[in-house]
């Protein structure tokens, strides 16, 4: 995508005005933290501010877009912009830092500034791994900040998910924030700020971003993704304030329709107790591939929750597409307070089994057999 500015941040008008006013009046603190739920825009806001701070001729509306600093930050390659993000210890790296994954990080930012942890795990091929900030990451930042700024102006450290730090790296970051090098700004982006080391929380200025309004999401989908108005409104409602989730739903429409078909066929066969056909269904599900199987089970959970909620006849609580609602009209009575917990428990077990590489045909067939009993309770 093109160089990021505040106009790329969806909604969040009050936060934008506050940040622009801080920069214009020279009141940007040396350490601040943007926080908010997935897809609310904390990372896009942090990126826009980082570019603004490193611009050589900043304006009241953002970076000038023409100076040398802006040209470098357009490709996220400014020598005084230091990214820090959680990584995992691959076989080829004993002491991993963000530098080891910087090409994937820049590629993600060029593709979309609205992304989540799941997408990052996929980018670095760490879907089943735990990612964290290792202590050597804080050591690396200390070494970088001990040098003078390359361009002679400000420096920015943009750290994503500081809550994924153990005590040792967190305390080293705390020391940097408490005794910051001259002209250095720390911008933290957190999804769970309450999990950030308490002493770090007390040293930063926190700016919270609320979930996005449905209208802001719908408008962005229409203008940026070319989504038809009716579909944009439907997806915006289902996204629940999360633009990243809205993008996923738009791009996964074909896949979700396929998952809907699997779900409908499963429930119909279970109700009719057609065990032979269920064996064939399980074989078809087993051929999807493990990552698609995991996404399908997550979608199944969504559909089960929605069918349970449908029984309460409260439209504002419904987050289904029209196609899904058509099926819920007939199927929802079979998902009730007597079986919903049992069904969701079995679904969670199937997810764990798939993640642990258990034979998928056995997993799906076993789940289907249990559904025969549960669906009639």
Q: Give 62-116 as a 3 state SS string.
A: ECCCCCHHHHHHHCCCCCCEEEECCECCCCCCCCCCHHHHHHHHHHHHHHCCCCC
Whole-number pLDDT of residue 313: 87
Q: H/E element holding 32?
A: strand 31-36
Edge-to-edge, what's the strand order for the sheet holding 205-209?
A: 81-84, 155-160, 184-190, 31-36, 205-209
Q: Report helix, strand or coil for 33.
A: strand
Instruction: Name the residue with tokens 């009241």.
Output: 60
Q: How far, in Å, CA of 374 to CA of 270, rounded?
A: 9
Average pLDDT for runs of 10 along the chain of length 377: 87 97 95 96 97 95 95 95 93 83 95 92 83 93 92 93 95 95 96 96 97 96 91 89 92 81 94 95 92 89 92 83 85 93 94 92 96 91
How far is residue 41's CA from residue 48's CA, in Å, rounded to a whole number? 11
| Pairing relationship of beta strands 81-84 and 184-190 according to DSSP bridges | unpaired
Contacts (Cβ under 8 Å, ≥6 apart) of 291: 127
Right CATH number for 252-374 from 2.40.50, 1.10.10, 2.60.40, 1.20.272? 1.20.272
- CA–CA separation, 269 vs 285, rounded Å? 14
CA-based nearest residue to 127, from 354, 370, 327, 373: 354
Pairing verdict, β 205-209 and 184-190: unpaired
In angstroms, the CA 40 to CA 211 distance is 5
Boundaries of every domain in the chain: 6-210, 252-374
The most distant pair of C-alpha atoms in the chain lies apart, rounded to whole Å, by 73
SS3 of residue 21 by DSSP: helix
What's domain 6-210's architecture?
3-Layer(aba) Sandwich (3.40)
Q: Cα–Cα distance between 160 and 33 in angstroms, integer?
A: 10
Supply 51's token pair.
């570019």
CB atoms within 10 A of CB 336: 12
Residue with tokens 């962005």: 220
What's the pLDDT score for residue 228? 87
Instruction: Mark out the alpha helices in the chain (DSSP H runs).
Output: 13-24, 42-54, 68-74, 102-111, 117-123, 135-146, 167-178, 198-201, 214-225, 229-239, 243-251, 253-272, 275-286, 290-310, 322-331, 340-355, 360-374
Q: What are phi and psi of 62, to 5 degrees?
A: 140, -165
Q: What does the block give as tokens for 319?
A: 């987050």
pLDDT at position 376? 86
Helix (H) or strand (E) holding 147: none
Take residue 193 and report the two structure tokens written for it.
């700020």
């Amino acid at each position: 995508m093109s160089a990021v500015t505040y106009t790329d941040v969806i909604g969040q008008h009050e936060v934008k005005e506050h940040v622009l006013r801080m920069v214009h009046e020279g009141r940007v603190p040396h350490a601040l933290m943007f926080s908010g739920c997935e897809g609310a825009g904390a990372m896009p806001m942090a990126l826009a501010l980082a570019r603004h701070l490193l611009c050589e001729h900043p304006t009241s509306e953002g970076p000038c877009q023409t100076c040398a600093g802006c040209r470098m930050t357009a490709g996220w390659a400014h020598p005084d912009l230091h990214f820090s993000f959680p990584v995992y210890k691959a076989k080829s790296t004993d002491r991993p830092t963000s530098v080891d994954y910087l090409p994937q990080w820049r590629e993600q930012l060029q593709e979309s500034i609205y992304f989540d942890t799941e997408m990052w795990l996929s980018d670095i091929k760490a879907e089943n791994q735990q990612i964290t900030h290792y202590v050597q990451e804080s050591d690396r930042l200390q070494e970088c900040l001990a040098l003078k700024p390359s361009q002679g102006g400000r420096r920015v450290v943009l750290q994503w998910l500081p809550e994924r730090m153990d005590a040792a790296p967190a305390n080293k970051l705390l020391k940097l924030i408490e005794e910051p090098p001259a002209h250095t700004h720390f911008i933290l982006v957190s999804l769970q700020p309450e999990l950030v080391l308490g002493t770090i929380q007390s040293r930063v200025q926190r700016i919270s971003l609320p979930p996005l309004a449905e209208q802001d999401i719908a408008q962005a989908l229409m203008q940026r993704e070319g989504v038809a108005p009716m579909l944009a409104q439907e997806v915006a409602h289902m996204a629940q304030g999360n633009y990243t989730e809205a993008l996923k739903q738009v791009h996964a429409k074909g896949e979700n329709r396929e998952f809907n078909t699997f779900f409908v066929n499963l429930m119909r066969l279970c109700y009719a107790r057609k065990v032979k056909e269920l064996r064939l269904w399980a074989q078809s599900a087993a051929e999807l591939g493990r990552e698609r199987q995991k996404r399908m089970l997550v979608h199944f959970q969504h559909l089960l929750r929605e069918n349970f909620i449908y029984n309460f006849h409260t439209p504002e609580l419904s987050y289904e597409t029209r196609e899904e609602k058509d099926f819920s009209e007939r199927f929802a009575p079979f998902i009730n307070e007597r079986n919903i917990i049992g069904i969701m428990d079995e679904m969670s077990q199937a997810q764990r089994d798939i993640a642990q590489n258990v034979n998928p045909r056995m997993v799906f067939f076993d789940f289907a057999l249990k559904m025969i009993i549960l669906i009639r309770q």
